[in-house]
Amino acid sequence: MRKSINGLCEIVMNNFDIDPREKILFGFCNRQRNRVKILVWDDNGFWIHFKRLEKGKVVWPDIYDDEITMNLSLEDFHNLIKSPGIKQKIKRDEVWRNH
């Protein structure tokens, strides 16, 4: 969770071969699953949104899970962030592996 805009953009470009200026929300989570950063491009600059949970954990793929990266609908992403600790069924359209 130490990375800022440039570091997160590098992860998006190098690991997923995606331009971080696409109209996509990119979410990153720490190992304890209690902190989330969201990187998003907005017309002429980046926003980073940061959330630190005081209780509970965000439901997030485990590093040993084959599905480390998920392509979620906006609704599913909202549920993921708003409902920490609750395992909800998430529709996964596309999955990339982070090697």
* 85, 57 contact by CB (below 8 A): yes
Total structural domains within the chain: 1
More confident site: 60 or 89: 60
- Which domain covers residue 55, as residue numbers? 5-96
Statement: the pTM of the whole predicted model exceeds 0.75? no
Mean pLDDT of the chain: 79
* 34, 9 contact by CB (below 8 A): no
CA distances from 5 to 32, 55, 64 (A): 21, 26, 26
pLDDT above 60 (res 85): no
